[in-house]
Chains A and B, each alone.
Chain A
């Protein structure tokens, strides 16, 4: 018994895929939306720190699990290590309906105008594939706006003089600051910086039929118990399903893109929830499986027409993998700054995001989400005890007295940082696994040092009596939850994987809609940009479909 042919397949029900599924199904296309995980709820993990998405010592609370997935990491000395999803070097993205948007911290940043033209702004950088996007901020502005209003963002853009120009305000008012953030707002003003409330994909007032945030201490890394956090799982995906045109197929892992004997894309092969291999055919396919898994799927789809994998004629699929180098500083205050008013991060400064002397880019700096007790055991100044009585005393005295200013430094893209498929290692289902190799650009650390110095200064001004820097940008491979760049958009098929609408060059009916498209990753958390790209790619396909284009 075969599956009924549909108009469109979307692979991955995360930030990008959920939006594409909604755009297409409301336009009248029949859609199958594949998700390798299932529906996740707050009750699955509760407030259990040890199995949250942020502290994964007992596994990823929101997937994927350690039994069915693994990857290969190439170490700096050339040796390889097999890693599991709960290990940091796996570079995990959540596996559930909504993916990372269920358990994220939910910062909702628009990239800046400069982020779309880094090469024009900073020139070529040796050892980097730095490039301009094939589109401008203005081209994406209406898509950012859709993401903010359809998914839901709380904020006040008027307080950030460095934000890119915009047509509409956020749909919800900003969040109030807790004790720590208030100190940091005042300090930033004294320093002449421009503090503003972090835009959040979280309800500050009831919105779209869901309640306002109750300010839990557990939020980042957890699902929301009252459904106040806005993801694709509680906005666009239910709308897509409600249209009657979209079937969500959970616990189903897509393993290969089907190519017929004329070299046309005809659908996908997948493992259903009982791990039986099935085919699903469609007129067009959109891959939104994350920068690592989208590249893996393309590279695993080898045929006589695509001997190196689909879209990989020029060896660009999987290249330019990047995440963010998190960098900042910690400060210990004399008084308690913790007032249990979650989730924590609420104030940002974007004063050091571009046009800093001597470095490429920069990034936003924010106060941090509340660190739960076990996570805090790793927060220690240089030289402090890492165990024993002194360590425990620090925990007792300082848990409520430590603040952090930290932000994502925009990394310099490198061709050598890449996703491949491993030639021998296969996962539980027999699918060749992701093989990660490469390292950050050597200049990243300079930008990180610059940002960490500013962060430390900010904390000192706020009243911290003892401060220390935590400088990111080390030699290791970057990816993580902010992974991006592996199917770069571009106008030149020789040096990119997709065109400016996310369509794989020279393949009429195969699209990508996730962070893989990002030419660079901004000095911001990337999720709102991934959502905007979902609206762009989905909107493009829907518009063409209505004009009669069937992508043949």
Chain B
């Protein structure tokens, strides 16, 4: 990764240590202080020119290499994403607006993201459109100079705290369902939008339903071309191809386990220590597969199956390592040094990992992509 990446890793760890309290489990707990920690951390990163490190310099970013971006992904996810919901704005909303937005949209939206001031949510999934996203039913009905949007989104992360929504809606019924879709950039404080939180095991303030009741949007809210939103969705997915560095948190927690148990580590059943080593090997495997995807993507040689194989490996790692960590947690007392921290982490990791094969493209979709690529390559 090179010395710059190593230096960045050290710097990020110091920033996390200085600005994120120990035991922080993400921004979406019942404790409002956690959200404020994340918001403040984003502003701190922005002050250190580290928030938009991956952005091109012409948009005020750091022009960082793909390897520095990888370090950011790893360190942030390993420490429960102390950027909270803002990682989406930095990772793909901003870059997509750079690519498809008008100058006015860029002036309006990019500086607040770069300052660490704004949270975005993604209005994609619907009750009847999960993996089959193009079947969505939220409709933008033509009305005068603009449209009236009505419909329902679901599983929308961070909608209660977001100021903006990256909304996908149907503007026309095309011959194919992928046609006639449009992206709108809409403010979440519009009274035509109602958000209903869905409390869940992954964190109480994470998932939501979002209802649109004749939300008025205009031409200036359209990102890219009307009816051409599907190609932007593909771009969004390409930005998220590597996705979150799940392996980094798995590895951090697994590596911490022996020190929490102290001398009792050697008393663990040999079979459990064997499973622990196996998971560390799977962490390495997933990390190296991620690096390979990053490398292939950066030189334009990536094939659809490359990322899918990695995504399957890393999401299964997330769940498998969570089971091993919970098995180790069975031996840990809250009174052990670091015991309470470890038990909280292991529980949170286990809960969150249940969704890893479902969210951001289910494992079934990844399997379809991978098998399709394998069969096509053999033709």
The yes or no verdict on A and B being binding partners is no
